[in-house]
Amino acid sequence: MGDQPRAYVLFHPVEGLTLKAGVGRGFKAPTLKQLSAEFESWAAMGGRGVIRGNPDLQPETNLSYEMGAAYESDTWSAGATFFHNKVRNLIDTVRQPTCFAPGRVCLAYENVARVRLQGVELTGGTDLSERWRLDANYTYLDARDQITGEPMPDRSRHRANATLAWKPLASMSTRMQLEYIGAQFRSDKQGKRPGYALLHWYMDYAVNRNLTVQVGVENLTDKRLANDDISLFSRADEGRRYFVGMRVQF
């Protein structure tokens, strides 16, 4: 979304507790590739799909409401936020009934006239000891096409993360993250795509106050969903990924 005018009200009834409520509007114009009639991407769905642009796309508009509460103490924190978004002309990739390329799946950028996205996000964290901390979050999302009444495809109703962090030295911290992605609706005929979990590991080391080295391994167990069942998980998986980076600050 582009720049969004927002109005928020914050209230602190007691120390550590914050209540908030807000409303905002958003606008998102289609990208040049999404609007281009000549644009084609043959990398969709791990090379099994083709996405074409659509010059008739309309901009997305969004009206969002939010209310929640958060509490933070010296050793633990918790929060809950309810959100309700009304989106008009949502830009989405839609599977086409026929395809010009044999053996492939054709998709196109299309507007979904009216979509409602609403749900609840829960967060929490606690210090287990001086060096260990556990943080978690959970999101429930009800994404629905208000014209057809059906759930929006390829969107998980349940998502969750849990992170266990360890700081053995003042200059070094490491954390293990468990990510859960719940079942996703595909269509009335295809049913749901089952949920799955991924495991990640990260480490930060501060060489000095200006330079921090970051390393990590994502998808530690090398889970490859499309290899398990290509009919359910059509997107190609990257599998286990290693990375090294640096953060410089002055």
Q: Between 37 and 136, name the one with better pLDDT.
A: 136
pLDDT at residue 180 is higher than 60? yes
- The residue written with tokens 């390829």 in the block is 154
Domain chopping of the chain, boundaries: 26-61+73-149, 153-250
CA nearest neighbour of 25 among 91, 88, 110: 88
Cβ density class 105-121: b for 16+ within 10 Å, e for less: ebbbbbbbeebebbbeb
Task: Take residue 2 and report the two structure tokens written for it.
Answer: 């582009």
The answer to whether 133 and 168 have CB atoms below 8 angstroms apart is no
Interval 1-47: pLDDT, tens: 555 688 999 999 999 999 999 999 999 999 999 999 889 888 766 66
To the nearest whole percent, how much of the chain has pLDDT over 70?
91
Tell me how far the alpha carbon of residue 167 is from its chain's centroid.
27
pTM of the entire structure? Answer: 0.83
> What is d(CA 134, CA 76) in angstroms, rounded to the nearest whole number?
9
CA nearest neighbour of 207 among 217, 195, 199, 215: 215
Interval 63-112: pLDDT, tens: 999 999 999 999 999 999 999 999 999 999 888 888 888 878 888 999 99
